[in-house]
Amino acid sequence: MNNAEELFTAATITSFSAVGLAFYILLAIAVWRVFSKAGYAGILALIPIVNLIILVKIAGYSGWFVLLYLIPVVNVIIAAFVAVRVGENFGKGPVFSIFLLWLFPIIGYFIVGLGNATYREPVARY
């Protein structure tokens, strides 16, 4: 590799890292308010794995449910279930939850967190 290719590669990696960090910060800001509405400390939204555990608890599942996120195909399905349950606990329907809490979470969590949605304790389902 020559010097120009190495510089291009470094710039590309830096750009993708900056965009990823920006998305993470925006999502943390959005989820902060959601956590506050649900009765959890908002600062927990900044801690990478803890924020997922709290989000699963807000959905009404056990914190151990997060371990299912480690299984490659199952994690996508579990994320959809959690999104639907979080939306349900904030009075939102399944269409809102799938499109805005699962597919476009930054937008959806800003709507839930900054909107007039109120948190309702999940009903235990076993």
pLDDT tier, 4 (very low <50, low <70, confident <90, very high otherwise): confident
Helices in 3-104 by DSSP H: which ranges? 3-37, 48-58, 74-89, 94-96
Domain annotation covers residue 56 = yes
**Taking a C-beta distance cutoff of 8 angstroms, is the pair 83, 97 a contact?**
yes
Distance, CA of 6 to CA of 12 (rounded, Å): 10
List the domain range (segments joined by +) for residue 52.
Answer: 3-114
pTM comes to 0.85
Does residue 92 sit within a domain?
yes
- If you search the block for the tokens 């009404």, which residue do you land on? 60
Any domain includes 87: yes
pLDDT digits (tens, 9 = 90+) for 26-46: 999 999 999 999 999 999 999
Whether 76 is in a domain gets the answer yes
Residue 123 placed within a domain? no
Residue 125 belongs to a domain: no
* Domains in the chain, number: 1
